[in-house]
A = this chain, B = another copy of it.
């Protein structure tokens, strides 16, 4: 195999596919990316068996072939090359020679046929949406996923598509985050759970440009994201997802409208008083036209008053401040609505159009 490509192009491509390469494994081949020039384009692939990413590199194929190279090593080496045209030549026994200007490097690759190719997904159902929308929906829910896999279904997000509506749900045992999006497709019907780890990498690759589109295709065991030069395949989580509908209630007793930024500032100040691993809550003390956000710990006491619009009962309720902050930070509205039932029931942060909904369980507190 003999190829030439520009330094900037190879660095960018390796950066993309490297997201699907295992960092620590006991199998060398899993730490590799595949460089495949057996067809008419140069394709790079990373595949950690849960997630596979393939992208095209601009360049010239002088002699076709394929090789697997250690991802981290190859990435670091390419970054050190000058901004110029690089030649990669690979011998029959996978010895790789990289030359550029007066720099000559050589290292051993691995046989391409040991590399697990990107799964061939049969596209049964597909939707097209803007990369920005998908990116936002992931980023605005993914923080709620459980980090450990005590319950594996909590490590993934539900993607539900029905009657032209797409719903993305992330949850753990303390909170639920939901984003809704109207899509231009009334036919497709989907109900799958995608691993959070895959979605995090997908969100990192998606463009922030609302003009660019992504095609998402669903197969029984895989989901495929197709961008212009890149495709990403993730396996799906198998199992029954949670029935979240039954967790929502509409009998709120207290409804407030509050400035989001002011609430974030007050809670973050209170968090200074809470040492790591201390489970002290912040307390929202809701009265007419006024909410007090307060905390009391061994470190001291914090208190701030914020003006609110309120309907219904007065209420005093405690929350893990991190859960409130996580949700408040991904909402973009200046004023937000929060509905409360009582001090033992979850609160709901949601907009009128139901674009977003965040459910957060309260915590007990004593004063």
Contacts and interface: CB of A to CB of B under 8 A. Distances in A.
Interface of A: 73, 76-77, 80-82, 96, 102-108, 265-266, 268-269, 272-273, 299-306
Given A102-B305, A103-B266, A305-B102, A76 B272 contact: yes
20 contacts: A73-B272, A73-B299, A77-B269, A80-B268, A80-B269, A81-B269, A82-B265, A96-B300, A102-B305, A103-B269, A103-B302, A103-B304, A105-B269, A105-B273, A105-B303, A106-B300, A106-B301, A107-B299, A107-B300, A107-B301
Given A80-B265, A265-B80, A103 B303 contact: yes
Contacts of A102: 304-306
A117 B164 CA distance: 70
A107 B295 CA distance: 12
Contacts of A303: 103-105
A9 to B, nearest CB: 19
B300 A108 contact: yes
A110 to B, nearest CB: 13
A64 B73 CA distance: 62
Q: Which one of A73, A80, A81, A105 has the greatest number of beta carbons of chain B within 10 Å?
A: A105
Contacts of A105: 269, 273, 300-303
Contacts of A306: 102
Q: Which one of A81, A96, A300, A303 has the greatest number of beta carbons of chain B within 10 Å?
A: A300
